[in-house]
Amino acid sequence: MRGLSFTAGETIYENALTGEESVKDWRREGEVVTRTWENKLLLENKLDPDEHGDHAHWVLWCPADVPDKVIIEWEYYPIKEPGLCMLFFAAKGRNGEDLFDKSLPERTGYYPHYHSGAINALHLSYFRHKHPDERAFRTCNLRKSYGFHLVTQAADPLPPVEDAISPYQMKLIKYNQFVQFSINDLPILEWTDDGKSYGSVLHGGRIGFRQMAPMVAAYANFSVKKAIKN
């Protein structure tokens, strides 16, 4: 499916993310701080990573349960690093449950809950500036769970915070077995799931933002639209 192109159709969910009030109905897992910054949503950690380690990270889930064949777009403003930013998508329980089903174990932002717990999901890491080796050789990573499967990676064009000229226009397309990601209309990665190597193709589900502390970033103009194959 490499080289396919898509057009945005009907809007499924839209949120300008103008500040903390705009995400009152979003689901929080872990200790996330929401603030309003220049009429945008600013996100950061509440817990000190020096004290709480990997338990200082968090996930903020969009309330919409979206179908497959979608274009997900948002504006991204990196403000303070080190850290890592990620988008979960196509997230459901491993038996097809809604991600928020009360029968699923509690999740607290601790990463093993998401890659080796009770859910399936795709994970896009697009600002990997947390550890020295990530900053020395910068990549965007796409993983699939259940399991910690790195299915593809590509070069990350995002600069350090001090060199950033925000916003960065992020676009993620999920269309059946096909995933495509671009920044500022620059194609970054594509992947076609064969439905065998890492389990069945994932369809529909929830979308969530994740940051690894002490990252601070802002977001705006988040939308999910139907993807129409050209």
What CATH number is given to the structural domain containing 143? 2.60.120.200
Mean pLDDT score, 193-204:
97
How many helical (H) and strand (E) elements, i.e. helices and strands, does the chain have? 3, 15
Please indicate, yes or no, if residue 22 is contained in any of the structural domains: no
**Does position 1 have pLDDT exceeding 70, yes or no?**
no
Return d(Cα 48, Cα 43) in angstroms, integer.
14
Q: How confident is the model at residue 4 (pLDDT cuts 50, 70, 90)?
A: confident
Please indicate, yes or no, if residue 67 is contained in any of the structural domains: yes
Mean pLDDT score, 87-108:
98
Q: How confident is the model at residue 2 (pLDDT cuts 50, 70, 90)?
A: low
Please indicate, yes or no, if residue 142 is contained in any of the structural domains: yes
Judged by DSSP in three states, 199 sits in: strand
Mean pLDDT score, 16-25:
98
Mean pLDDT score, 62-73:
98
Structural domain boundaries, residue 189: 6-16+57-212+223-229
Return d(Cα 6, Cα 74) in angstroms, integer.
17
Please indicate, yes or no, if residue 35 is contained in any of the structural domains: no
Q: What is the mean pLDDT of the chain?
A: 97
Question: Angle at CA 203, nearest 5°, toward 73 and 181?
Answer: 35
Return d(Cα 179, Cα 28) in angstroms, integer.
26
Please indicate, yes or no, if residue 34 is contained in any of the structural domains: no
β-pair type (83-93, 119-129)? antiparallel
Judged by DSSP in three states, 161 sits in: helix
Whole-structure pTM value: 0.97
Which one-letter amino acid corresponds to residue 228?
A: I
**Which pLDDT score, from 0 to 100, does residue 167 have?**
98
Please indicate, yes or no, if residue 88 is contained in any of the structural domains: yes
Please indicate, yes or no, if residue 47 is contained in any of the structural domains: no
**Does position 40 have pLDDT exceeding 90, yes or no?**
yes
Mean pLDDT score, 201-205:
98
Per-residue pLDDT tens for 139-152? Answer: 999 999 999 999 99
How many domains are there within the chain? 1
- What string of DSSP letters covers 48-68? -HHHHGGGG-EEEE-S--B-S
* pLDDT above 90: percentage of residues in the chain: 98
Mean pLDDT score, 103-118:
98
Taken as a whole, the chain contains a residue count of 230
Tokens of 97: 């449950």
Please indicate, yes or no, if residue 46 is contained in any of the structural domains: no
**Which pLDDT score, from 0 to 100, does residue 33 have?**
98
